[in-house]
């Protein structure tokens, strides 16, 4: 068996196209333009690249992009004052504070200062609680992207056995909640799970989000299973030359692709979906704020 490759790059482009069409309709029919504010504290190179990409794609789908770049030594009260200002700005429908924050800032305090209705990352404790109890919430972008791809590939997920490898608040836990919401039987596994290979082998759906390069080999995968690889790990690549690196996922791609029914590649799988779902969340937040019907297929 050769696995079908789930092309996250193409899927994300389709999602952005849907968002763009809804934004154009909002502008024409309601005179409303969704706005996304991104706050970056410090000069982390990876974060800077990510924020630039978010800003570019926000504008491409017709939304307003507001970027706030603060010095690395910005005081906590200054950051909280900015968030309060954005919370009260009717032109801003989504707020994202880029993580990680400098060590002197309390991430939990900062995240929970964002208006939950504008929390397009879905990290606010209120959104976590709403998702966990099956209520309408803002859904974390990466798990939402995984869910969209799974729904597209399978149609109905009802009754399927799903194993999520990884228990982070950002991916593992919300991913499990979303799969439960679609009537999967869900196991959250992790590095300390006993008989982890056998647990994973029982799964129709494997979502690997543990942050360890190529931790899940092909002989852990049930024949025909769907594998969603959330991991993005940089490892040495001496075959490319001295000091060179390459990106790999949490799954050993070649061996897993030989037995799986479908698999996401790294790069080009889950990664592109994260920003696409951030835009979708901003659109959803805008519609909710204005009492308008939410766009179908762009949220959980």
Distances (CA, A) of 3 to 153, 176, 188, 229: 12, 24, 24, 13
Answer yes or no: 121 catalytic. yes
Backbone angles phi and psi of 176, in degrees to 5: -60, -40
How far, in Å, CA of 32 to CA of 23, rounded? 8
Answer yes or no: 54 catalytic. yes
Neighbours of 240 (CB within 10 A): 10
The token duo for 263 is: 């698999």
Give the total residue count for the chain.
Answer: 300
Task: Single out the catalytic residue among 18, 115, 119, 121.
Answer: 121
Answer yes or no: 56 catalytic. no
Task: Single out the catalytic residue among 18, 54, 204, 250.
Answer: 54
Residue 166's nearest CA partner among 176, 151, 177, 156 is 176
Helix/strand/coil (H, E, C) string of 189-251? ECCCCCCHHHHHHCCCEEEECCCCCCCECHHHCCCCCEEEECCCEEEECHHHCCCCEEEECCE
Task: Single out the catalytic residue among 98, 115, 222, 250.
Answer: 98
Q: For 46-53, which contacts have Cβ atoms below 8 Å and span 24 or more sequence positions?
A: 47/98, 47/99, 47/100, 50/98, 51/98, 53/275
How far, in Å, CA of 168 to CA of 256, rounded? 23
Strand order of the sheet with strand 94-97?
64-70, 35-41, 94-97
Among all residues, which ones are annotated catalytic? 54, 98, 121
């Amino acid at each position: 068996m050769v696995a079908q490759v789930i092309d996250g790059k193409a899927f994300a482009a389709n999602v952005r196209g849907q968002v763009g069409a809804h934004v154009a309709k909002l502008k024409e029919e309601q005179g409303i333009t969704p706005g996304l504010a991104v706050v970056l504290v410090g000069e982390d190179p990876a974060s800077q690249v990510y924020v630039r990409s978010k800003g570019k794609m926000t504008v491409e789908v017709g939304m307003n992009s507001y970027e706030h770049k603060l010095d690395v030594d910005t005081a906590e009260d200054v950051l909280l004052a900015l968030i309060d200002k954005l919370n009260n700005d009717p032109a801003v429908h989504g707020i994202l504070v880029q993580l990680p924050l400098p060590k002197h800032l309390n991430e939990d305090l900062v995240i929970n200062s964002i208006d939950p209705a504008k929390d397009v990352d879905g990290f606010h404790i209120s959104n976590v609680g709403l998702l966990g109890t099956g209520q309408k919430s803002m859904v974390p972008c990466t798990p939402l992207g995984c869910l969209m791809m799974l729904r597209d590939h399978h149609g109905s997920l009802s009754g399927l056995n799903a194993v999520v490898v990884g228990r982070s608040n950002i991916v593992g836990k919300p991913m499990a909640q979303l799969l439960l919401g679609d009537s999967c039987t869900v196991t959250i596994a992790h590095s300390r799970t006993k008989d982890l290979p056998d647990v994973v082998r029982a799964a129709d759906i494997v979502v690997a989000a543990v942050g360890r390069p190529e931790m899940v080999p092909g002989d852990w995968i049930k024949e025909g299973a769907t594998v969603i690889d959330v991991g993005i790990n940089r490892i040495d690549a001496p075959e490319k030359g001295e000091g060179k690196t390459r990106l790999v996922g949490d799954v050993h791609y070649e061996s897993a692709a030989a037995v799986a029914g479908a698999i996401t590649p790294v790069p080009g799988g889950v990664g592109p979906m994260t920003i696409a779902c951030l835009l979708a969340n901003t659109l959803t937040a805008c519609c909710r704020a204005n009492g308008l019907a939410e766009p179908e297929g762009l949220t959980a």
